[in-house]
Amino acid sequence: MKKKYLNSTLIILLLIIWGNIIYKYFGRSKTKDTQAHIVGANMPIHYAVAKDTFILQLNNRDPFKVSKIRKVTTVTRSIRIIKNNQPIKPVIWPNIEYYGFVKSVSNKTKLVLVKVNGKLLKKREKDKIESLTIIKAYSDSITVSLNKTIKTIKRL
């Protein structure tokens, strides 16, 4: 019995809600809309938009509460170039021939096969041959230094 009354009240509420929605959508009177339209047609429409202006104010306060201002001083150093009147002696390179290298698993440096002034030598990278130092060995060339001058020698 209670279920029957509950269903009937819910159906009545549903009809009232849908009736109200339909009335608001379709049941409005035409006189109010036409009067508003007529009043709007007689009056000129101004489309001017008021500018929204504002002034930015700088906030010069220190966020870290440090009141002291430190001046940065720059130090400039002058470099003096000392010119020697002594002529630079040209470096006399020995006759160097590069034949290749062998890289082993145990050593990280490469074993280089080089012929210096007719002597065939096996030396590792960073080794010295008299005053000649082997810097780096590549598959097609070798980089050597003699008296702080560097030279690249191609493979034969």
Average pLDDT, the chain: 80
Look at residues 121, 67, 71 and name the one whose alpha carbon lies nearest to residue 94.
Answer: 121
The residues, ordered by sequence, that sit 6+ positions from 129 with a Cβ below 8 Å of its Cβ are 114, 116, 121, 123
CB neighbours of residue 67 within 10 Å: 6
Q: What is the mean pLDDT of residues 136-141?
A: 89
pLDDT of residue 66: 63
Where does 96-154 sit in CATH, by number? 2.30.30
pLDDT at 93 over 70: yes
Q: How far apart are CA 150 and CA 125, in angstroms?
A: 14
Q: What is the mean pLDDT of residues 89-99?
A: 86
* pTM of the predicted model as reported, rounded to 2 decimal places: 0.43
